[in-house]
Structures are given as C-alpha cells and as structure tokens.
Amino acid sequence: MRTNFAIATLIAIPFFACQTSEPKETTPAPAATAIMPVDSTKSYDISLVNNKKDPTCGMPVTAGIADTAHYKGKVLGFCGTGCKDEFLKNPDAMIAAAEIK
C-alpha cells in the first residue's frame, strides 16, 4: 500500500508544481486610434531610393535614411520624419536639392 501511495505522490508532485497561480504578463493591444511611435531604429537601403541628398536639409543619404516618400514616380530618402514632412509641404521647391540619380 505504501508503494502505491509513494508512486502516486511522485507522479502528482510534478503536475501540481507546474500549476502556478502567478498572473501571466500581457501587453494590452493598442487602441485603433492610438498614435504609434516612430521606430527610430528602422533604416532603409540607399540603393532603394532615387536621391543622393535629403532634399530638405542636404544630408547625404549614405549617412542613413530614416523615412521615405514617393514623389512623381521616385522614391526619396530622408534623414528623418521632420525633413520628409517639411518636403511634402512644398516638394516642387525642394526637389532640385535631392540630386536625383
């Protein structure tokens, strides 16, 4: 009888040890209207853009591209979202500074 009890105990211990009552960490889903932060670690391959310089600030795209925009069939690279937003306000006035390839 003791042997059966010992075997049952050995089988039951791992089962109950795995049953923890700690709450699992969950991340709430973002609301549909939430503004998602810009991923500053995202970068783009310079071979995918048609400009040599950021048309807003003049920075060479070889230094890094943080954002892109399509304009008249071309893909333009920008050093940041601020430069892209500024360009989109008046693109015709700034496109010459982009030095299109």
Residue extents of the structural domains in the chain: 39-101
Verdict on whether the full-model pTM lies above 0.85: no
Q: Considering only CA atoms, which of 74, 76, 33 is closest in space to residue 66?
A: 76
Q: What is the pLDDT of residues 35-94, one digit of tens each?
A: 545 455 566 778 889 999 999 999 999 999 999 999 999 999 999 999 999 999 999 999
The predicted structure's pLDDT at residue 36:
46
68: phi then psi, degrees, rounded to nearest 5: -135, 165
Res 32 pLDDT > 60: no
Integer Cα distance of 48 and 52 in angstroms: 11
- How many CB atoms are located within 10 Å of the residue 89 CB? 9
Three-state SS at 23: coil
Q: How many CB atoms lie within 10 A of CB 64?
A: 14
